[in-house]
Chains A and B, each alone.
Chain A
């Protein structure tokens, strides 16, 4: 199975700061990597699909990059509403697998 390793596991950030979350795959997955935001007691919401394509309605401060094994989710100018856990998901090879999650807290 492909293992997705996110870093960091936790990040405490002040508003307006830039946040960078990485997702490393145990083998190449092309661009089949997607990013999700999950707030407490809510279902996950798609932010970025296919590594760099912003999903409809997602604020422009969210962006994604990477291909192969190394991927990045960037949140430019963090807002308080961005406090959440972020997950990456690969759908290149079965079984689909998620990263362990990165919790972003607002200082």
Chain B
């Protein structure tokens, strides 16, 4: 079955960087778009970014992360990444890795990894 496991979250000071990873299994990773979605504590869901099956195009949904966040993937190792730079307190959230279905829904989600930006 589809399995997505995020890692790399943690506590980081404002201005710092983190690289999130998502290990995928149970499906043909290289055939699917993948996406990152975040959820600030006690808040709703916010779409961050997606990447096509062949790494281009990539799209971002939040103006404030463009130029700071970079999405990438390794179709050999079945890994999805989110490089986050110049982090601010507003980036504090659980970050979910998820698969984009053929119907352009987001059909399978990981358990999430918590990023806390604080001094």
Contacts and interface: CB of A to CB of B under 8 A. Distances in A.
Interface of A: 32, 34, 36, 38, 42-46, 49-50, 53, 55, 87, 89, 91, 94-101
B70 to A, nearest CB: 17
A74 to B, nearest CB: 18
Nearest to B111: A43
Contacts of A53: 103
B61 A55 contact: no
B103 A49 contact: yes
A103 to B, nearest CB: 11
A42 B104 CA distance: 22
Contacts of A45: 109
A3 to B, nearest CB: 13
13 contacts: A36-B106, A43-B109, A44-B96, A46-B107, A49-B101, A89-B45, A94-B61, A95-B59, A95-B62, A96-B61, A97-B47, A97-B61, A101-B44
Interface of B: 44-47, 50, 59-62, 96, 101, 103-112
Contacts of B44: 87, 98-101
A65 B109 CA distance: 23
A55 B61 CA distance: 25
B61 A87 contact: no
A34 to B, nearest CB: 4
